[in-house]
Amino acid sequence: GESVGLHLPTLSVQEGDNSIINCAYSNSASDYFIWYKQESGKGPQFIIDIRSNMDKRQGQRVTVLLNKTVKHLSLQIAATQPGDSAVYFCAETRGTSYDKVIFGPGTSLSVIP
């Protein structure tokens, strides 16, 4: 069946270092892969997405890499800051219109000052 999952449940990073959060997916039919950030007491917040025909996409301090050969997605955060501490979810959807988003279980990122 469809599933999106993460390799590591927790990640601790020193402030200023780069963070890499990984995700494995099983549904090759996904059209978009998305990263969300969820802070305590808040709903998920869109960070960046990547279309399935792309390998890399960059945003502000974030880069998403997609390796379709091994069905692997990663989120790189440059110069990690305390405000980056949150749970990060990879997710997938089909079609151009995000009909429904299927989330993975999440990785908790802790930034050590």
Partner 1 sequence: DTGVSQDPRHKITKRGQNVTFRCDPISEHNRLYWYRQTLGQGPEFLTYFQNEAQLEKSRLLSDRFSAERPKGSFSTLEIQRTEQGDSAMYLCASSLALAGGTYEQYFGPGTRLTVT
Of 69 and 97, which CB lies nearer to partner 1 in the complex structure? 97
**Tokens at 35, concatenated:** 């990263």
Contact characters 40-79, partner 1, x per CB under 8 A: -xxxxxx--x------------------------------
Q: How far apart are CA 15 and CA 7, in angstroms?
A: 22
CB of 38 to partner 1, least distance (A): 8
Question: 10 Å Cβ neighbour count for 82?
Answer: 10
- Region near partner 1 per CB under 8 A, out of 13-21, 61-69, 75-83, 104-112: 104-112
- β-pairing, 19-25 vs 102-103, is unpaired
Angle at 102 (CA atoms; ends 3, 32), nearest 5 degrees: 95
Q: Does 99 bind partner 1 (CB under 8 A)?
A: yes
- Which of 13, 85, 104, 111 forms a contact with partner 1 (CB under 8 A)? 104
CB of 17 to partner 1, least distance (A): 25
For the chain, give percent helix, strand, coil, nearest 5. Answer: 5, 55, 45
Binding residues (CB under 8 A) for partner 1: these are 32, 41-46, 49, 89, 91, 96-106
